[in-house]
A and B are shown apart, each in its own frame.
Chain A
Amino acid sequence: MAEEKAPITPEMTIVEVLSQHRQTEEVFRRYEGEAQGCLLCHALFDTLEEVAATYRLDLDRLMQDLEESASE
């Protein structure tokens, strides 16, 4: 039986998301250009909403991309 994983929420930190859904690493890497920095280096302990605010990212789009990746 597959292990049940917590849904991704804006209050989760990047490291929490990665711990639950390893495959989302690719999503965070994809956003590096838009963020003009390495999210996985400098924002690992920030929540997704903090990351979106700090790096001026579209939180809804980020959440959607993460959810799509997590469901694969």
Chain B
Amino acid sequence: MTSRELDCRGQACPHPVLKTKEIVEQGEVSQLTVLVDNDAARENVSRFLERSGYQVQVAVRGGDLAVTGSRSPKRPDQPAAKTWEEAALRKILVLVGTDRLGTGDDELGRKLIASFLGTLKEMGRELWCLVLLNAGVKLAVAGSEVLASLKELEQDGAMVLVCGTCLTHFKLLEQKQVGETTNMLDIVTHMQLAEKVISFT
């Protein structure tokens, strides 16, 4: 059981990820903290660590961001850090392919999606993954009324995956404020791993 800390401040992508990868591939690190100072590095390092089997937490440290990946799953004193399997929770994936809920009135639809995402936290830790695609990606960008709800879900441990092709299509790639930019392979893989998929399109 070893802990390492890696200082990647001042470095642009892909360098923080490649350095993180070198350490992870040594295979002896149970906890790795990577200090970064930009959002792209935070997102990419977090994503790489998650793909490598780490549970990831991000904390603000001074003016920087500390991305900590932990591979020590059995921590009875910290039940919140248990994996879904250990806690015997279902993995629920919610796919949102729209920025409004239902048909009939668009204004009502926008209110309903805001209400839906604000209420989604009631699923608790069983909410494993939220996928936003097509117009749903508009919920994750600057100016969205539901940003706070999405950030809260993410802080509570849910993955928020945002379709990169869709962000590019709507020219919103640079405006994304929450979640990980993802691709179709990631989305399909997560749907396969999920025990329940709820879809709104």
Which residues of chain A have a CB within 8 Å of any CB of chain B? 14-15, 18-19, 22, 25, 37-38, 40-47, 50, 53-55
Report yes or no: B40 in contact with A15, Cβ–Cβ below 8 A.
no
| B185 / chain A contacts, CB cutoff of 8 Å | 47, 50
Report yes or no: A37 in contact with B173, Cβ–Cβ below 8 A.
yes
Report yes or no: A46 in contact with B164, Cβ–Cβ below 8 A.
yes
A41→B168 CA distance, assembly (Å) = 14
| A55 / chain B contacts, CB cutoff of 8 Å | 168
Binding stretch for chain A, among B11-19, B86-94, B150-158: B11-19
| B61 / chain A contacts, CB cutoff of 8 Å | none
A56→B18 CA distance, assembly (Å) = 26
With A18-B18, A54-B165 as contacts: A45 and B183 at CB distance below 8 Å: yes
Report yes or no: A45 in contact with B165, Cβ–Cβ below 8 A.
no
Report yes or no: B164 in contact with A40, Cβ–Cβ below 8 A.
no
Interface of A is mostly: helix
With A15-B18, A50-B185 as contacts: A42 and B47 at CB distance below 8 Å: no
> What is the CB-to-nearest-CB distance from A35 to chain B, in angstroms, rounded to a whole number?
9
Q: Which residue from chain B places its CB closest to the CB of A18 in the assembled complex?
A: B14
Report yes or no: A38 in contact with B13, Cβ–Cβ below 8 A.
yes
> What is the CB-to-nearest-CB distance from A64 to chain B, in angstroms, rounded to a whole number?
21
Report yes or no: B14 in contact with A14, Cβ–Cβ below 8 A.
yes
> What is the CB-to-nearest-CB distance from B185 to chain A, in angstroms, rounded to a whole number?
7
The verdict on B21 contacting chain A, using a C-beta distance below 8 Å, is yes
| B51 / chain A contacts, CB cutoff of 8 Å | 45
The 3 closest A-B pairs by CB, nearest first: A41-B40, A40-B13, A41-B13
A12→B14 CA distance, assembly (Å) = 15
Report yes or no: A44 in contact with B164, Cβ–Cβ below 8 A.
no
> What is the CB-to-nearest-CB distance from A19 to chain B, in angstroms, rounded to a whole number?
6
The verdict on B44 contacting chain A, using a C-beta distance below 8 Å, is yes
A30→B174 CA distance, assembly (Å) = 19
| B47 / chain A contacts, CB cutoff of 8 Å | 44-45
Q: Which residue from chain A places its CB closest to the CB of B47 in the assembled complex?
A: A45
What does the 1/0 interface line of B129-155 toward A look like (CB < 8 Å)?
Answer: 000000000000000000000000000
| A22 / chain B contacts, CB cutoff of 8 Å | 18
> What is the CB-to-nearest-CB distance from B160 to chain A, in angstroms, rounded to a whole number?
16
| B168 / chain A contacts, CB cutoff of 8 Å | 37, 54-55
The one of B17, B21, B48, B164 in contact with A43, judged by C-beta atoms closer than 8 angstroms, is B164
